[in-house]
Each structure stands twice: as C-alpha cells, then as structure tokens.
Amino acid sequence: MDRQVPARLRSLILWLVRQVVDIFAALSGFYYSKKFAMLTGRLGLAKAQGNARTRGFVAIEIDGLSHDHLQRALEEGYMPYLASQVRQGRLQISRWRCGLPSTTPAAQAGILFGNNYDIPAFRWYEKDKGISVVCKLPTMTKMLQDRVTGHNPGILRGGSSYFNMFDGDASLSLLTLSALNRERLFASTRGLGFLLLFMLNPIRAAKVILLSIWEYGSDAVQRVSGHLRGEKRLPFQGIFPLLRVVTNVIFRDVQTFAVLMDIYRGAPAIYTTYYSYDEIAHHYGFDSRPTHLALRALDRRLQQIDRLRRARLTREYDLFVLADHGQTDSEPFSERYGQTLGQYINGCLGNGLVLHEQSGDEQQSVFQAHYLLQEMEGVESRLAEPLGIIARRVREVVSERIRITEDEPPWNLQRRGSIVVKNSGSLAHVYFGVSNARLKISEISAFFPDLVVTLAGHPGIWLVIGVEGPDVLVFSREGVLALRDGRVHSAEGADPLQCLPEPEPARRELETLARYPHAGDLILLGRYDPATNTVICFEDQWASHGGLGGPQDYPFMAFSPHLGWDLSTVCNAREIYPFFARTYLKLPAIAPEPAPAAIEPT
C-alpha cells in the first residue's frame, strides 16, 4: 500500500505537468495568434492561399557554416538552442557534399531549382558574349536564374524568399538578388505602417541602436587587439564596418520578423539566408570571437522562428536548418607570396599582356544597404515635411558612402594581349584573349609555352585544369590525370586527389566543372594542405570557399528524424532538390539536371 502512494503521487505530478504545458501552449498560441493577426491586418497581408492541411517547410540557411564547424559550435555552447533540439531528438544533423564550385550561387540554384549548370564560380567571364559575371549584381543573378529555370519548378512555389540569391519561384521575394527592384516593402501606406511599427517601437528601436553600437565597438576592439597581437585580420575599411553592423542588425531583425509573419499567414514554403557568419569568417577566420558571437545571435533567431512554428497556428511545418557550403581556414596568396595570382601569371608570360584581375568581398552588407536606400525612397514619398526631408538627407548621406563595385561595362577582350583572372576564394578561372572560343591545353601551350607546367609547379597552386579533346586534364606537382566519364582514363605520376577523404566524388565534380561552357581556359585551385586542413586563397580572406579541400566541401542539414532522409549519397547541391520537390510539391520522382557530357572545344 505504501508503495502505491509514491506511484500515485508521481502520476499526479506528471498529469499536472502535462496540464501546465498544455495551458502554456494554449496561451502561447492565443498570444501569437492575436499578435500576428494585428500585424498582418496593419500590413494588409492575407492568409496564404492553398490547402492549410498540407505540411509546409521553413528552411533557414546559415551561409558558409560547415558540418565540422557546426559540431564544434554545438559542443562549445555557441548555439545552445539548436543543441537542445538535437539532444531532445527533434532534429538530426547530417553532413552532405555541396560539390564544385563550393559557392552560394551554385548551391542555391541547385537546391531551389535542381539545376546549377554552367555556374562555374562566384565570378567568371563569358568570352563568347563579352560578359563579366559576378553573382553579387542583381542583373547578373536575374540572368542566371533565367538560365536555370524552365527545367523544374522552384521549391518555393507559392511561398516566400527572403535574403536569398534566387527566388525559387516564390510568390513573395524581398532582398532576393534575382528579384531585386521587383517589390518594395515600404512603398505603400501599409508598408510605411510596418516601418513605423517596426522601428518606432521604443523597445525595438533601443535594442537596434544598442546592438549596433555594441557590435561596432566589438568590431573595432577586435581589429585593434588583433593588429597589436599580430593576428590575421582584414584591414580597417572606413565606414564599411559601421555600415555592415547597422545593416546586419536591422535586416537580421526584419528578416526574422518576415519569417514569423509568413508562418502565421501559413505560407507553404519559406526560405531565408543569414549571411553574417560567412561574411565575418572571411574577415576574421571561422574560429574567432566575432564568428562565435554571430552564431549566438543566429541561434536566438532560430529559437524565435522555431517556437512559432511549433505553435501550429495555421499549418504544420517541417524545419530545416542548413548551410550551402562550408569554409576552410585560409591564407591569401598575396600574403604568402607578395603578389596576386594575376600578377604572378602576368610575370610568367612576361610579354606585355594586359591583365584584368577581379577579386573582392561578396558585399552582402552593401546590397542590404542598397536595398535599404530603395526602401527609403518609398518612405520619402509617404512622409510629410520635416520627416520627409530628414529621410531624404539620411538616404543621400548613405548613398554617397556606399558603392556597388564590379558593375562596369564588360572589357574589350578582342585583343591578343589580354588575360582575365577571375578569383572566387581558392578557385580561379583564367581566360586568354587570343580567341573568343575556349582554348584547349595544346593551344594554350602553343601560345604560352611552359605556362601550364610553371603554374602546376608553384607551391601555392594545387591543381591546373583544362580540356583536351574528350579528356579533362588535371596537372599538379605530383603528376597528370586524364578524366573521362567520371573516371581516371589515364595517369602519369601520383593522383593529387588521393589526399582528400573522398577522391572519387572530387574527380567527378572537377570534370563536371571543367566541361561547363564558360569555365576558364585554365582552372586553378589553391594549394590544399591535408595536414593542417588549410588552403591558399586567391582573395584576401582568412577563411574561404569555392574550391576543394577541407570543411568547405561539407555543409550540414538539420531536419526532423521522422523524414527519414538519407544524405550520404548527395555529392552536389542539385541532388537536394528532388527531396523537396517530391515531399512538398508532390511531384513524381524527379532527377536533378545531369552533369554536362564531354564536349570538344572549338
């Protein structure tokens, strides 16, 4: 009898706990329902169309966070909420291979459309059209989206895209590069109401101001202390750190708020990208105090979004937290060897060639500021003086201090003496102006004897890749590989890819990249050191991506275990697409776009 009392007491306690949890959930649902009903009413946003009984998904992309670095962040407590969801079995984390190039445009095009064909880097040159392509320009990103669409419907059909490169056929796209200038959030009276609602809330305004001051001060302290200690850092950049901090703080909150609104509205698909980690890692390295702080901030936003998702106000959602690629610890080529890659190549040729070399930050913060300027124009038109004058003056001051670079007219390459070097992290494409067509290795050797051998022998260059007939040739200090149909057709010397944990997928990805129509006459990869897990980067970055080697090859995907998704065979971002198309678009079994077949250069 005495033993039954504790058992009954435990049952009573468990029952009371369940009741308290249920009451709390009901109150939370009621609170969120009333709160977001008021906000959507002020904004004039209707409930999303479609069957609310079907499951939707919310995808939160953390740009540049590798699987290895995520695991370290979870273990060291930088992402406590995500760690708690993994411990409780609500989410599982899987590693996958993003393929080549390990860049955001190729990865997002693959994920959203199942097609990333002929996106050979973050920046490249199209000799046949005379077009210089860089994927931070809205016009170029729109052009690329037009290329990859048409084969498959985007996975965001009927949903929303926030802060992405491509819109995935979303019905609503804000600060998405391929859809920039298409819509303005603050152009209408209701949109202005949202601005006032968001920014003039005393608590929120104080929070934004304090966070901006704190982050800018932290950035300055980190740069000064790092400089005094001789640590690797990018140099001071005038107003840019302040601009980056302000836009990150403001837009991070706007971005999260927009996702919360869409969950309440019941949008069937929501995809948003947080860029702060990737951008900060380029400047400070992936394992630095600023990147740790960025991950903590992102973890708090994830917690906000997931709490509302689990309230199930309109429809049930599956949550995905993912990265598009990782980052590998890097040393800039120019830092190690005292000159840029383009300058080195020009010196090797030594015959007065005109060099055009492009590198540089992805400038996500600049584009956020550019977008803010566009929105401020909408605000000006709705405000009476003197507020309108103030808004206009603020816009003019910011406009004078930011510039979106690399939007110049295409170069004239119709000259024998032109060479173009396009750098994207540890990946570079080299184009020779002797022909508008892509050059074979034999033709390059005829025009520039010993160049290929010289480049392959440089200690900062790992691989030199080109095409010759049906083969893709890979030169290194270890030997020469001839790749055909995803296999080694012939080899001289050692295989340089054997130092990778998975050389077979790497060979296939190299061959696919080299066969893209707009790949360089030569493709270069910076030296990868498996002992230190570092690469030589052709840009001024202390953590980089774009090429092969190290954590940059392996992003992560966190999702509910009930989905039963096996990512172990995924070797390219385009292989992510079929799962979303099948599960949420209810399409029949669909395969990603195949890799290009062997081509004979003309």
DSSP notation for 351-413? S-PEEEEE-----HHHHHHHHHHHHHHHHHHHPPTTHHHHHHHHHHHHHHH----S-SPPP--
Q: What is the mean pLDDT of the chain?
A: 81
In a domain, 51, yes or no: no
Residue 218 pLDDT > 70:
no
Q: Domain containing 500: what range?
A: 333-361+417-547
Averaged over 101-114, what is the pLDDT?
Answer: 97
Cβ 36 vs Cβ 305: under 8 Å: no
In a domain, 125, yes or no: no
pLDDT band at 455 (very low <50, low <70, confident <90, very high): very high
Cβ 151 vs Cβ 114: under 8 Å: yes
In a domain, 470, yes or no: yes
In a domain, 166, yes or no: no
Provide the token pair at 559: 């999702």
Q: Each residue of 276-295: b (16+ CB within 10 Å) or e?
A: bbbbbbbbbbbebebbbbbb
In a domain, 347, yes or no: yes
pLDDT band at 123 (very low <50, low <70, confident <90, very high): very high
User: CATH number, domain at 452?
Assistant: 3.30.1360
β-pair type (522-526, 461-468): antiparallel
pLDDT, tens digit, 9 for 90 and up, residues 385-408: 665 565 566 556 555 555 555 444
In a domain, 372, yes or no: no
pLDDT, tens digit, 9 for 90 and up, residues 356-373: 776 665 555 555 555 555
Residue 208 pLDDT > 80:
no
- Of 516, 547, 578, the residue at which a domain comes to its end is 547
Alpha-carbon torsion (367, 373, 377, 379), positive or negative: positive
In a domain, 477, yes or no: yes
In a domain, 160, yes or no: no
pLDDT band at 28 (very low <50, low <70, confident <90, very high): very low
Position 59, amino acid:
A
- Of 512, 528, 547, the residue at which a domain comes to its end is 547
How many separate domains does the chain show?
Answer: 2
pLDDT band at 235 (very low <50, low <70, confident <90, very high): low
Q: Shortest CA distance to 422 belongs to which of 133, 127, 107?
A: 133
Residue 602 pLDDT > 50:
no
**Number of other CB atoms surrounding residue 210 within 10 Å:** 11
pLDDT, tens digit, 9 for 90 and up, residues 35-69: 555 555 555 555 666 666 789 999 999 999 999 99
